[in-house]
Amino acid sequence: MAQHVVAITGASSGIGEATARELAGRGSAVVLGARRTDRLEKLANEIRAAGGQAATLAVDVTARADLDALVTLAVTEFGRLDVLVGNAGISKIGPVADLDVDGWQAMIDVNVRGVLHGIAAALPVFERRRRGHFVTTVSTAGLKITPTMAVYGATKNAVRTILEGLRQESTEGWLRTTSVSPGYVRTELADSIDDPGLREQIRTNMDRFALDPAAVARAIAFAIEQPTDVEIGDITIRPASQD
Ligand code: NDP
């Protein structure tokens, strides 16, 4: 039997992909959601070829029904869902004065509503088994507020607040929540930045000192693998050279 059954949003690249590889390598069955299904299929095939278990689904986290389908797939394929890693995210950073209202909307839709859709889909399933774990990828951008990252950081802090609230409402002992705050991680996240100057700046930082996404994946695995009565609430993980 699988160690854990873990659904992961944003599993087609970066931290989500690394988390899928890490958890599958440790014996979990992984259920992979994102929009780029070609990437998901390739990853799932690699996991299966290495002896692991994986299923894939086209998921746009802005659509509630897609998260319902992801959770249903976990249950039909692997009999249960133990963990939902709400990881999909975009980073349309820029100064507030740029008034990028569409970018703000997109970040709120993916980074906040996307995680809420996952909670709405998985919580009833967790409640029936009286067991479940929400892990979400927030950011150090919500801990150290920096120019150009106000709205991005705000979406991450909204999610941090939602998970902490859910934690406080769920003290019967069967639900765990974990917010992982990475600093710079070498992924494709900069592709979602529309401002060319800022995109280059973030890419340069990623090339200079960012963490390998596998480091974040190991932190997520650490939280998941604790005994069920142990809740790792927050993890901050950044390059040792990040200010
Ligand atoms: P990537 O761009 O490599 O991965 C982002 C993932 O999110 C992709 O798999 C993408 O898949 C998915 N995604 C984006 N929009 C949607 C959507 N509407 N529906 C479903 N999936 C979506 O970046 P990261 O791995 O870095 O990002 C993962 C998370 O980590 C994000 O929440 C990000 O904010 C956070 N983070 C990243 C940091 C970094 O330095 N890289 C630092 C701190 C936090 P697809 O396009 O196929 O749908």
CATH number for position 66: 3.40.50.720
Inter-CA distances, 161 with 96, 145, 156, Å:
22, 16, 9
Cα angle 201-207-209, degrees, rounded to a multiple of 5: 100
In three-state secondary structure terms, 57 is strand
Q: What is the pLDDT of residue 21?
A: 98
- Which residues constitute the domain of residue 76? 5-235
Q: Is 242 part of a structural domain of the chain? A: no
Cα angle 71-24-107, degrees, rounded to a multiple of 5: 50
Supply the mean pLDDT for the chain.
97
Q: Does residue 152 have an active-site annotation?
A: yes
Closest C-alpha among 91, 81, 210, 100 to residue 153: 91
Per-residue pLDDT tens digits for 27-48:
999 999 999 999 999 999 999 9
Mean pLDDT of 220-224: 98
Q: Select which of 137, 152, 162, 211 is catalytic.
A: 152
Q: How far apart are CA 36 and CA 29, in angstroms?
A: 20
Per-residue pLDDT tens digits for 47-64:
999 999 999 999 999 999
Residues with CB under 6 A from ligand 1: 9-16, 34-36, 59-62, 87-91, 110, 137, 139, 182, 184-185, 187-189
Q: Is 243 part of a structural domain of the chain? A: no
Contact in structure between 166 and 119 (CB atoms under 8 Å): yes
Q: Provide the domain count of the chain.
A: 1
Q: What is the pTM of this model?
A: 0.98
Q: Is 181 part of a structural domain of the chain? A: yes
Percent of the chain with pLDDT over 90: 98
Q: What is the pLDDT of residue 1?
A: 87
